[in-house]
Amino acid sequence: MNSPPSTLGQYQIIREIARSNDIVYEAYDPLMNRRVAIKELAMPQGASSQQQEERISRFKREAQAAGTLNHPNIMTVFSFAEDNGRTFMAMEYLDGCTLRSEIDTHGSLPLDRAVDIITQVLEGLSHAHSKGVIHRDIKPDNIQILSNGTVKITDFGIARLTFQPNLTMDGQVFGTPSYMSPEQVVGRDIDARSDLFSVGVVLYEMLAGQKPFGGDSVVTITYAIMNAEPPHPSQVSYSMWQILSRALEKSPQMRYASAEDMIKAIRDAVKSANSGVMDAAPPAAMGYGAAAYMAQGAVQPAPPPVYAYNPYQPQAYQPQAQQQQYLTTPYGVIPQQYQAGPSMPPPSAIPIYYPPPPRQPLLKPETVAFWKRVAMTFLIIGTLLVILIVCISQISRAITDDRSSGSDRAKSAEIANLPSNMPIGEKLQKYKEVLDKVTDVGTQADIRRQMASLYERQGKEALVRADIKTAEYAFSQGTDVDPRNPSLWSDRAMVLTQQVDAIQDAAYKEQLLAEAGGAWEQAARLEHDTEKSSKYGQEAARQYIQYAQNVFQQGDRSQFGDARSRLYNAKEIAGGDSELMGQITDMLQKLG
């Protein structure tokens, strides 16, 4: 397992918290002086370029889904960025434990505890649904209970954003089987009511201590979700069972229309129970004195059978149970098996089953033992050969690396002895030629730093001559060679800023403002000196504000998203300047 990085962007990594499809770290944000959680995209080895692009798109979609939401019951995402090829997002650090841990520890939860947790989950989902975000993976593992009792919904990794094109093709299924709705199981288009089905499963598990749709495989679980009715746990009251039954309806049209409707139903049920209203199922149809009436043998026509609608069965309607004969009395309808007299047919004879004799093995035990010894021999020989090949490869690589290191040192010494009066352009050409031939990583880094220093010197000499274009080119080349040099980024940003006021073309001016803001932002994030970093950050914020103003004045709504993104970055690096923060907030409101 690789050790965690020391930093990711502006964040200082403290420790690794978890690792599954992605890696989660505990980190410190020195700019905002707070503890955060960093989720880094872990790319599987051997993934094709298309698979990598899809993983990055889904990771970015997760950040967008959570980033558009601002609610006390939803985990907050602060930023999404990339650092040296590592894609990550910064999130709110959550303490406490998951609901899964709570259920595993206590089994079923008390009614008031379960209602409090599920109500907070529904309030968070209500906000998410109003913003066009469908979670698609509501389960106890993705519900965090903080130490102060607040409930947070986490992990929007497979969320559906209704305001953006769907990344999931028809027929693809994403989610956790035990908590998926029927329409999710078969890969159909889903809406907010699919999340409410998952909420019903979670509430059932909290109250009953077990899942409503059991099974020992994905096939049996999904079959139960689409066909079976969950049993009524004895500890669940009638009014709460009515809520669970409606939330777990197979057809979305039969469920609650929204999270607010389900919250209201839960609160009404709790209020009725607390007010002293009897919370029990309606009495059975048969009343006192029915047995005497049945003895009269007054058989009435059977009422029509009851049908349960399931949109995921091949037939639209199927009978719930085998039709029976009924007797109608003044006290209710009585099934035939409860009538007096021998009305039931005799049971049919059950055939006796005799198992077939055991089959003889295909191979004798002696033959099996022989082939096992042969396989073990080949395995040992193959292992020894692999070890031998690896050792030879390592020795050969060490010899090659030693030769390459000696050659690289010679080439590095070649450019170190260049005459001091050689023009900068010629020196840079020599450095490029040597850099293309050097293979040692450390030597390459030294050469790049020297080239960056030469480019910075070239750019400053051009500024003295008022040659802005040459200076911009030199600083740009310097940042390409040494992208972690804050001094070069600030020089490049300064040159771009100087050109903005002289530009009349609106589109070109927007481009320069964006580039200047980006350069100032890079300088701010790379600079270790706090005072300089704050200064660079404020300059970046000014450029981004002006860029957003130009976009707003032009009325090009296709650029509003980019402008908002840059303004959010400006809020992070503005250094707490109240005037700038006010301007940023004002522009964000204008951009919607």
Instruction: Cite the active site residues.
Output: 137
Coil/strand/helix, residue 167: coil
Coil/strand/helix, residue 82: strand
**Residue carrying the six token digits 């509430």:** 203
Q: How big is the CA angle at 506 (ends 503 and 509), to the nearest 5 degrees?
A: 50
Query: How far apart (Å, rounded) are the C-alpha atoms in residues 318 and 307?
Result: 6
Question: 10 Å Cβ neighbour count for 215?
Answer: 16
**Residue carrying the six token digits 């660079």:** 536
Q: By C-alpha distance, which of 426, 542, 446, 453 is closest to 493?
A: 542
478 within 8 A of 488, measured Cβ to Cβ: yes
Cα→Cα distances 37→94, 150, 318, Å: 8, 18, 51
- According to DSSP, the residues that pair with 420 across neighbouring strands are none
SS3 for 274-337 is HCCCCCCCCCCCCCCCHHHHHCCCCCCCCCCCCEEECCCCCCCEEECCCCCCEEEECCEEEEHH
Structure tokens that stand for 89 in this block: 């997002």
Which amino acid is present at 161? L
| φ, ψ for residue 153, nearest 5 deg | -85, 130
242 within 8 A of 254, measured Cβ to Cβ: no
Cα→Cα distances 241→128, 229, 248, 266, 365, Å: 26, 12, 10, 11, 59
Q: Which helix (H) or strand (E) holds 34?
A: strand 34-40
- What residues have CB less than 8 Å from 198, skipping those under 6 apart? 135, 137, 138, 139, 179, 180, 181
Cα→Cα distances 145→81, 97, 103, 225, 310, Å: 28, 6, 12, 27, 35
* Exposed/middle/buried for residue 430 (C-beta within 10 Å: 0-12, 13-18, 19+): middle
- What residues have CB less than 8 Å from 257, skipping those under 6 apart? 193
Interstrand relation of 7-8 and 133-134 (parallel, antiparallel or unpaired): unpaired
Structure tokens that stand for 149 in this block: 């009792």
